[in-house]
Chains A and B, each alone.
Chain A
Amino acid sequence: MTACNERYVEYMHDYLDGDISHDHEKELKQHLKSCADCQQHMHELSDSIAFIKSAAHITAPLHFETRVMQRLPKRKNTAGIQKWLRRHPIIVAAAVFVLFMSATLVGSYSNDTQFSVTKQPNLIVEGQTVTVPEGEVVKGDIVVKNGDIVIEGEVDGNVTVINGKYMASSAVVTGQVEEIDQAFEWLWYEMKQMFNSFISLFK
C-alpha cells in the first residue's frame, strides 16, 4: 500500500463515518477520479457495508419474555420487607408489643367466664350474687366478674362489675362504680388495669 493510498483510505473511513471535513471530501473525490486502486478500495468498502446491512432483522424466540420473568430471582420481595423492617424499628417494636398484649388479653377473656369476686372479709356470696350487708363497711375495692352485686352497706373503695349488674339502694360507695358489659369495654378496662399495675411497679 503506497503512502498516498493510506491517507486516502483514512479519508474513506471518515467519509463512511459521516465525519469527513469538506476539504478532505473534495480531495478524496478528486483523487478517486484519477486513481483506479482507490476507487476499487472504496467500492469494496461500500459493498462490505451493504453486505452486512443485508442481514435480516432477527426477533427473539417465542415466550422469551415469559422465560426471562421465570428466571428473575424471587427473593427481591422479601429483601424489600427486610429493608422496611430495618428502617422502622419503632413501628416493629410497637407491633410486637401490641401483638403480645392482645394475645394475653384475648386469652384471659375467653378464660374469664367463671364467677369470681374479690375476697373481702364481710361479703356475703349467694350463688352469683354478692351482697354487702347493711351496717357493714367494706374497706378496699371490690371486683365482681360474671355476677351481680347488691350493696346495702358501705364500701370504702371502688366497685367494678363485669358482665353483671350493680344494684344499690341506700349504698355509700366512696370510690367509683363501674359496670362493664361489652367485650370492648372489658378490654379497655383490662388495659387500664394493666397500665395501672405497670405504673405502680415504679411507685
Chain B
Amino acid sequence: MDALVNKRIKQVLKGDQSAYTDIVNLYQHKLYQICYRMLGNKEEAEDIAQEAFVRAYVNLHSYDQKRKFSTWLYRIATNLCIDRIRKKKPDYYLDAEVAGTDGLNMYSQIASSEKLPEDVVAQMELQERVQYEISRLPDKYRAVIVLKYIEELSLQEISEILEMPLGTVKTRIHRGREALRKQLNNL
C-alpha cells in the first residue's frame, strides 16, 4: 500500500491532480472517523476531514516520503480538530476560580452544565452513549484515547502524530483511562 501511495504522491507532485483521488479514497474513512470521534458532529467532521485532505494536498511537497503518509495526514487532521475544539470553547480560563465561591473553578460549572441528567443518559443507545462519553473527555485526553482505542494505533505512532514524547502520550492515556472510568462509574 505504501508503494502505491508513494507512486500517487509523485504523480500529484508532477502536477497530476487526479492521482490524488486514490489517496483520498484510501484514507477517507479513517480520517473521517478520527474527526467524527474528536468533534462528535457529522457536519463538522466532514468539513474538517475535507480541509485536512486539502491541506495535505497543498503541502504535499513538504511531506517526507521516507515516513508513513498516514502519520503525516492524521497529524494535520488532529491539529485541525484540536483547533476547532478550542475555538468553540469560551475564552475564559477553566482553572480560574469563580469569584465568591470557595475553591469552585470553571470545571465544576462546565461539568454541571454539560453533563446530562442521569435518566437521559440511561436511555441513550450504546453508540450514542459512547460518543457522549468521548466528547466529555478533555481534548488532550480525547485525542490519545481516540487514536489508541478507536484507530488502534501504537503508542509510538500516536507520539509521532501528536508530536509529543512517548512519555507524555503514556501519561495522557493513563489519565484519559482514569477520566473515562470515573465518568462511567459516576452514574
The interface of chain A, by Cβ under 8 A from chain B, is 9-10, 13, 16-17, 41, 44-45, 47-49, 51-61, 64-65, 67-69, 71-73, 76-77, 80
Q: State the main secondary structure of chain B at its contact with A.
A: helix
Given A52-B150, A69-B21, A76-B17, the answer on whether A59 and B29 have CB atoms closer than 8 Å is: yes
- Assembly CA distance A68 to B181 (angstroms): 38
Given A72-B17, A76-B17, the answer on whether A65 and B57 have CB atoms closer than 8 Å is: no
Question: What are 17 contact pairs spanning A and B, CB under 8 A?
Answer: A13-B173, A49-B149, A49-B177, A52-B133, A53-B149, A54-B130, A58-B29, A60-B33, A60-B49, A61-B42, A61-B46, A64-B28, A68-B24, A72-B17, A72-B57, A77-B15, A80-B15
**Shortest CB–CB separation between residue B179 and chain A, in angstroms?**
9
B113: CB under 8 A from chain A?
no
**Shortest CB–CB separation between residue B18 and chain A, in angstroms?**
8
Contact (Cβ within 8 A) B32 A69: no
Contact (Cβ within 8 A) B33 A52: no
**What A residues does B28 contact at CB under 8 A?**
60, 64-65, 68
With A48-B181, A65-B25, A69-B21 given, can you name 5 additional A-B contacts, CB distance below 8 Å?
A: A48-B177, A49-B177, A64-B50, A69-B17, A73-B57
**Shortest CB–CB separation between residue A77 and chain B, in angstroms?**
6
Given A16-B177, A59-B29, A80-B15, the answer on whether A65 and B24 have CB atoms closer than 8 Å is: yes
**What A residues does B50 contact at CB under 8 A?**
64, 67-68, 71
Contact (Cβ within 8 A) B42 A55: no
- Assembly CA distance A76 to B13 (angstroms): 10
B53: CB under 8 A from chain A?
yes
Which 9 residue pairs across A and B have the least CB separation, nearest first? A60-B32, A13-B174, A60-B28, A58-B33, A48-B180, A80-B15, A52-B149, A68-B53, A55-B130
Contact (Cβ within 8 A) B32 A56: no
- Assembly CA distance A59 to B155 (angstroms): 24
**What B residues does A71 contact at CB under 8 A?**
50-51, 53-54
Contact (Cβ within 8 A) B181 A45: yes
B120: CB under 8 A from chain A?
no
B131: CB under 8 A from chain A?
yes
B145: CB under 8 A from chain A?
yes
Choice from A44, A65, A67, A68 contacting B185 with Cβ under 8 Å: A44
Contact (Cβ within 8 A) A69 B20: yes
B74: CB under 8 A from chain A?
no
- Assembly CA distance A58 to B131 (angstroms): 12
- Assembly CA distance A47 to B133 (angstroms): 13
- Assembly CA distance A31 to B31 (angstroms): 41
In chain B, positions 12-52 with a C-beta closer than 8 Å to chain A are 15, 17, 20-21, 24-25, 28-29, 31-33, 36-37, 42, 46, 49-51
Contact (Cβ within 8 A) A69 B24: yes
Contact (Cβ within 8 A) B134 A65: no
Contact (Cβ within 8 A) A55 B155: no
With both beta carbons as reference points, the residue of chain B lying nearest to A78 in the complex is identified as B15
Contact (Cβ within 8 A) A72 B173: no
**What A residues does B25 contact at CB under 8 A?**
65
**What B residues does A72 contact at CB under 8 A?**
17, 20, 54, 57
**What B residues does A53 contact at CB under 8 A?**
149-150
**What B residues does A68 contact at CB under 8 A?**
24, 28, 50, 53-54
**Shortest CB–CB separation between residue B39 and chain A, in angstroms?**
12
Given A17-B173, A52-B145, A54-B126, the answer on whether A73 and B58 have CB atoms closer than 8 Å is: yes
**Shortest CB–CB separation between residue A81 and chain B, in angstroms?**
9
- Assembly CA distance A177 to B111 (angstroms): 103
